[in-house]
Chains A and B, each alone.
Chain A
Amino acid sequence: MSSQYLTFDVDRERYALPILRVRGILEYQPMTRVPGSSPFVAGVFNNAGAVTPVIDLAARLGLGKTPLTNRTCLILVGLDYEGGELPIGLMVESVRDVLEIHGEEILPAPDFGSRIRLDYLAGLTRAAGGFTALLDVDRFLAAEELLEISRTAGQTVN
């Protein structure tokens, strides 16, 4: 069985996430900064009437801020949150393409020792030549970060 993954760049490295989780891809657009929010929250923007928080994926992964170019994109995903779906935008350097990955091509991330947990990492694949990190969209944000982001959006999640 195979699944499709959307590949994109963060800090010049390729990452992928399951395309079933992607609600849309937008060009970068100016957003409203939210005072007091975490450094990885780039701001909020109006997505067809819904206030949508945007996470700078590079900043969340400790790789500095995503540079603004004409290739900067927002990947819209819905995160599992309190039984509902929290829509957020992931700001990335650029979107590449869609990759077909078979289940057996997904390798578990290696063990870096018991104290090191890479929650953002669902696994690695060689499907695109070299390793590509698969992003775990439901685990890369901690519960308290999700809470903060849902408050940033100023909306209740149903």
Chain B
Amino acid sequence: MDSLTFRAAEATLGIPMDDVQEILDSWTLTPLPLLPHAFRGVTDLRGTPVPVADVNRLVGGTSEAHRRTLVVLRSSVALLVDAIDNVIQVDRLEPARMSRGGSAGPPTASKSWREKAF
């Protein structure tokens, strides 16, 4: 399985390449009020408004500084990331280890992304 890795929230994260529709370096943002904190508004994808979710905010990161690249997913949501990293071959996923009672840290499986986003 190919996986697209990117930088966000001071970490390197990945999503299955099959979920990715396109990557945009140049894009516009229309903010919409009363959205959950993780959403920043909508971007104009060839005339269609697509929700923009900020991965930094999604995983509880604080960095708002260097902006950045949009990863548009096939599920009609765009992820705002710091930068694209690489495409890697993933053969086997290790279960995420969480410290007992501690904070979980960024989710590591792609499923968690969507659960967090919606």
Residue ranges of A at the interface with B (Cβ–Cβ < 8 Å) = 10-11, 13, 61-63, 107, 109-116, 118, 120-121, 124, 126, 130-131, 133
Contact between A112 and B49, CB atoms less than 8 A apart: no
18 examples of A-B residue contacts, CB within 8 angstroms:
A10-B33, A11-B33, A62-B33, A62-B34, A107-B47, A107-B48, A109-B49, A110-B51, A112-B36, A112-B39, A112-B118, A113-B117, A114-B118, A116-B36, A120-B34, A131-B44, A131-B49, A133-B32
Distance in angstroms between the alpha carbons of A111 and B19 in the assembled complex: 18
Interface status of B30 (Cβ within 8 A of chain A): yes
- For B11-36 the 0/1 string (1 means CB < 8 A from A) is 00000000000000000101111111
Decide if B33 touches A113 in the complex (CB within 8 Å): no
A63 neighbours in B (Cβ, 8 Å): 33
- A131-B42 contact, Cβ under 8 Å, with A110-B51, A114-B118, A126-B47: yes
Q: How far is the CA of A61 from the CA of B32 in the complex (A)?
A: 9
Counted as pairs of residues, one from A and one from B, with CB atoms less than 8 Å apart, the total is: 53
B32 engages A121 (CB within 8 Å):
yes
Q: Does B76 contact A (CB under 8 A)?
A: yes
- CB of A68 to closest CB in B, whole Å: 20
Residue of chain A at shortest CB distance from B41 = A131
Q: With a CB–CB cut-off of 8 A, which chain B residues contact A120? A: 33-34
Residues of B within 8 A of A111 (CB): 51, 76
A124 CA to B117 CA, complexed, in Å: 22
Bound-state Cα–Cα, A83 to B118, Å: 36
Sample of 5 more A-B contacts, CB < 8 Å, known A62-B34, A131-B30? A109-B49, A116-B35, A118-B32, A130-B30, A133-B32
